[in-house]
Amino acid sequence: MVRRPLGEDDAKSLAGVFKALSDPVRLRLLSLIASFEGGEACVCDVTSAFNVSQPTISHHLRVLREAGLIDSERRGTWVYYWVLPDALKNLGALLATDGVTSAGDATPSARAATTPSDSAIAADVTEAAAEAAGVTAAAP
């Protein structure tokens, strides 16, 4: 099976998602929110995990929200955030390499040499999506 190349619109959309994930603070925020009991976290819950100010955390959360990776809801004076499982599932599907071949691979063993690490990455993203889906079912 050979994967179809990305179209221009899909590539632009995904570039925005990957740009949002390219910052270590944002990547950690996404992971931290997904790991919170109940599947959601308040800015007040995550700020202490970072050596940056609360306004900086809020900025990074806004970038993740605009990229479609998390959603939020204001409750009183606080804003609560949760991971959007479908966004992670889409990333997992994009990163999955099972059954995908590359014309540049000369031998099956060359393809096999790259498959475990690629599959491990895809499995991690897929696992995070599954966990988020189970945890965020009660999210508003």
In a domain, 124, yes or no: yes
Q: How many domains does the chain have?
A: 1
Over residues 10-17, mean pLDDT: 85
List, for residues 27-41, the tens digit of each pLDDT value: 999 999 999 988 899
Residue 51's pLDDT band (cuts 50, 70, 90): very high
In a domain, 2, yes or no: no
Residue 59's pLDDT band (cuts 50, 70, 90): very high
For residue 27, the model assigns a pLDDT of 94
Provide φ and ψ at 71, rounded to 5°.
Answer: -130, 170
- The answer, yes or no, to whether residue 95 has pLDDT greater than 80, is no
What is the CATH classification number for the domain harbouring 26? 1.10.10.10
Quote the distance between the C-alpha of residue 102 and its chain's center. Answer: 25
pLDDT averaged over every residue in the chain: 77
Range of 49's domain? 8-138
Q: Work out the angle between the directed axes of helices 85-95 and 108-135 (0-180°, nearest 10).
A: 170
In a domain, 94, yes or no: yes
Residue 102's pLDDT band (cuts 50, 70, 90): low
In a domain, 1, yes or no: no
pTM score: 0.66
In a domain, 112, yes or no: yes
